[in-house]
Chain A
């Protein structure tokens, strides 16, 4: 079951939105959960330690 997260400040349930990342002069984008009101983005552990870490390593090696 997907984890339901609420923004503590706004009381809104997070929704997937296109989100942009920047690293070492590169920009990438993907859909991530974020607060529909204040825009705070949530990055989960699996993404941070998986795809993001691999991409960071690739960009650092360039």
Chain B
């Protein structure tokens, strides 16, 4: 039975599904940006589309890759947005086609430049629905460029993990290998048969409904591998890093941004990362969602990751509570408030720090709907 039918029949609670759709909408809305060099307006050669996860993983990635592309070809624009894959994965086909139609329109309005992608899921989706776009990957463009790249002959041997979305895309793997050879990176391909590449566990956003299945997929992919992993899909890199593996993205080698030990970024803080990626691309300051600044401990962020709660949910909860006065307060002046959110009720305990700053102390949720008591005055 598909997702849509199961929700319709109330066989599944909706929360995990809506989390990923919210991620997509955030990437297409307040984290979206189009940067076009004014001198190349109307005569662009490339349109770089990093996808929704590159800046969510490391806010510096999109701008760093864009700078590389600009060195290779100055007539290059960058568009921060999302290809619509999350809506496809949850079966929202109409929404997905609408996203794709908007993208096609944007591409047309920019004069049909060559689209350049960093994410193989974006490529699969665009190839399937918008075949006239015929996108390339940033790895192909950089491999064909004469750019001088940094050298890494001293690195330990890396295991190159192709993403599952590279199945039947040998030209992309070849471009990645060309870049690695040009950078003198010691490496071996982890899974040779490009037609049967396994998934890291990210695909389909199964982490929400079945975290154990996602973690098992990651373990199957890397458990017997002793070498550090080199990925060219940011989701794979983050999944492997989250499974405790030393992991690099090829962008780290191309730009020198990160080493082998970068931990997986918190799922709950990815919307903040996207906003920072946008600010870095536009050369401005990051804006806080609803103007609320939050202090979140490492432990709380980890718990929020597992519960598919974003820092933005907490900002909405606090904004609603502080505006309406609907919260409880304890002897320590800690505020406790709730937010109904697509089938669940989120609770947060937080301490006001002055102005619009708050320290998040605890977060939890339940799916049951709590009704008011019969005895409540005036009810």
Chain A: residues with CB nearer than 8 A to chain B? 3-9, 14, 17-25, 28, 32, 34-43, 45, 48-49, 52-53, 55-56, 60
Contacts and interface: CB of A to CB of B under 8 A. Distances in A.
B38 to A, nearest CB: 51
7 residue pairs, one from A and one from B, having the closest CB atoms: A39-B376, A39-B372, A17-B373, A9-B325, A48-B366, A23-B368, A21-B368
A21 B377 contact: no
B376 A23 contact: no
A9 B12 CA distance: 35
B327 interface: yes
A36 to B, nearest CB: 7
Contact of B326 (A8, A17, A23): A8
Nearest to A46: B364
Contact of B368 (A3, A38, A52): A52
- Interface SS of chain A: helix, strand, loop or mixed? mixed
Given A9-B325, A55-B368, A25 B10 contact: yes
A56 B331 contact: no
Given A9-B326, A49-B364, A52-B366, A39 B345 contact: no
Interface of B: 10, 12-13, 324-331, 335-336, 338, 345, 347, 362, 364-379
B367 to A, nearest CB: 5
A34 B331 contact: no
Given A45-B347, A53-B366, A22 B10 contact: no
Contacts of B324: 9
A21 B369 contact: yes
Contacts of B369: 21-23
A8 B13 contact: no
A25 B10 CA distance: 9
A10 B371 CA distance: 19
B325 A18 contact: no
B373 A19 contact: yes
Contacts of B362: 45
A22 to B, nearest CB: 5
Contacts of B366: 43, 48, 52-53, 56
Given A14-B328, A21-B371, A52-B367, 7 more contacts: A3-B330, A8-B325, A9-B327, A17-B376, A20-B370, A37-B377, A43-B347
